Structure 1
Amino acid sequence: MEKIAVISADIINSSKFEEHAFIDTMHVLEEPAGNYLVNRGEPVLSSRGDSFQLMTAEIRNSFFKAIFLKSYFKKKQVGLKDKKGKGTIDIRISLAVGLSKTIPENIGKTMEEPFVLSGRALDQMKRKKQTFVITTSHEEYNKELELSCAFLDNLFDGWTLAQAEVIYYLVQGFKQTEIAGLLNLSQPSVSSRIQLARWSLIEKMNTRFLQIIEKI
């Protein structure tokens, strides 16, 4: 048995965006993989272009990969179909960690535990008006994670595009001075955006997440 993480995700209200502009945002999933989100050789299942599922054996980095996805889309603005101007994109993310007998080559045809947990939670998110959930096979931890994710949802909802943009780079390990250079900002401006995005709370959540997955 091997412990793996599965992320299931879909774009909220994707039909309101211009299709060609929306598709351009999905290059984060494209092959050849090897970027921060998907390591080379890790399968990605895409459906309809607005929903996808991916797996990783790097479970200790899976929470930050979910944050990477959240910030990647929330920093985007895409043209709207029915009116002029652009709209911001948001995404539902269901992260699950569990045991798998094998590492499946076709993740669209597996019923291994973490895939079932992640997909089932994603199906429930729209009804519960959630955009970020973490699930394990242990109910005692799930209750704690549900509450923590409710606070994270509120945090993400308050992100501006500018704040999401700096988190997108920060979660990949870029230093503040490097981010400042990439975005043509001063280092104090980057630092301010990081604080406003509540990065310190995200780091604390990751610490607790790592403690939990060590026990399951």
Structure 2
Amino acid sequence: MKTQAVITGDIINFTKLPPAKRKSLIEDTAHLLKNWITEKVNAEIFRGDSYQVLFDQASEAITRSIQLVCWFKKHSDEKNKLSLGTRISIGIGEVSYIGKNVLNSDGEAFHLSGRNFDIMKDDEFLAIHTNDNEKNTGIEIILNFVNKYISNWTPGQAEVIFLLLEGKIQQEIAEELSLSQPSVNSRLRSAGWKEFEPAMKYLAYLVQQG
């Protein structure tokens, strides 16, 4: 059986949104998740504000998790001072079987994702676990750095990073957000992207090592 990655997450402060905004956000999030994968049943929202997605590659699960952090941050209601966020646990391991959808599937990756999600700390936005404890120690050290950066991102910085991870260049992002290219660059600089990006790439490298 090949190694895959499962992400389990929930939306921080979701219940504080008005019903109409909750409905809209969930519909948009479901559409986003299913567009990221080939098999649509491998992405599901459950319990109203929780979601689970199965990815073939651990590196993609990490990139998409950072995008999800940005996705919810950029949907914050700044006018009413309501910050949205997400907590995500990535489990990397074998998948025993696929059920009618991701929620009915099972295997090591699901166990590592779900069980570690349940014990995440309040200041933890991203957690990653494999079946290798030595590797997990190194991952945790890097994630301490990653989580500190994530906690400080603003909705404006998040919307730029989200599009950057979609593969857009700064000029394309500027046009999409009706900003100048220097403004996009300024947001990336203030978000610490120059320091954050290598850490994210090293995480992807580390989890894929045998």
TM-score by length of 1: 0.87
Distance, in Å, in 1 between the alignment partners of 2:146 and 2:59 is 19
Q: Are 2:6 and 2:91, in contact at CA under 8 Å, matched by a contact in 1?
A: yes
Match of 1:113 in 2: 108
Out of 108-117 and 157-166, give the one that drifted further: 108-117
The farther-off stretch of 99-108 and 146-155 is 99-108
Q: 2:34 corresponds to which residue?
A: 33
**CA offset digits 1:115-152 (Å, max 9, x no partner):** 110111110114x5422111111111111111221221
How far 1:20 moved relative to its partner? 1.7
Higher mean alpha-carbon deviation, 142-151 vs 183-192, is at: 142-151
The residue number in structure 1 matching 2:136 is 142
Aligned-residue RMSD, C-alpha: 2.2
Shift of 1:42: 5.0
Say which of 141, 154, 157 aligns to 2:148: 154
Distance in structure 2 (CA, Å) of the matches to 1:208 and 1:117: 21
What is the aligned counterpart of 1:199 among 184, 193, 210? Answer: 193
Runs of 4+ aligned residues of structure 1 deviating over 3 Å after TM superposition are 37-42, 101-105
Q: 1:89 to 1:60 in 2, by over 3 A?
A: same
What is the aligned partner in structure 2 of residue 187 from structure 1? Answer: 181
Q: Secondary structure at the match of 1:169?
A: helix
The alignment status of 1:174 with 2:175, answered yes or no, reads no
Amino acid at match of 1:208: Y
Conserved? CA contact 2:30–2:44, under 8 Å: no
Q: Which amino acid aligns with 2:116?
A: A
Aligned partner (choices 71, 84, 89) of residue 84 of structure 2: 89
Give me the TM-score of the superposition, normalised by structure 2. Answer: 0.90
Tell me by how many angstroms 1:104 deviates. Answer: 4.4
Contact 1:5 1:59 in 2 (8 A): yes
Aligned-pair identity in percent equals 32
The alpha-carbon deviation at position 103 of structure 1 amounts to 4.3
Tell me by how many angstroms 1:157 deviates.
Answer: 1.1
| Matched AA of 2:30 | L
Aligned length: 209
